[in-house]
Amino acid sequence: MQPIIHIVAGGPRTYIPDLSNYNSSEVIWVGVDFGVMYLIQNNIHPSLAFGDFDSVTKDQWEHLKQITNNIKKYKPEKDETDMELAFLWAINQNPRIIRIFGATGGRMDHFMANVMILTREESIKCTIEVIDKQNIISVFSPGRYTINKIDKRSYISFIPLSKHVEGITLLGFKYPLENKHIQMGSTLCISNELIEETGTFSFTTGILMMIRSED
Give pLDDT, residue 139.
92
User: What's the count of helices (H) and strands (E) in the chain, helices before strands?
Assistant: 4, 13
pTM of the model: 0.90
Give pLDDT, residue 142.
95
50 phi, psi to nearest 5 deg = -120, 145
Give pLDDT, residue 78.
74
Q: How far is Cα 116 from Cα 164, in angstroms, rounded to an integer?
A: 16
| Residue 18 vs residues 38, 92, 189, 211: alpha-carbon distances, Å | 11, 27, 30, 19
Give pLDDT, residue 172.
96
Q: List pLDDT tens digits, range 9-23.
A: 989 999 999 999 999
For residues 28 and 6, the answer to whether their CB atoms sit within 8 Å is yes
Q: How far is Cα 84 from Cα 50, in angstroms, rounded to an integer?
A: 10
* Spans of the chain below 70 pLDDT: none
| Residue 94 vs residues 30, 31, 109, 150: alpha-carbon distances, Å | 15, 18, 28, 27
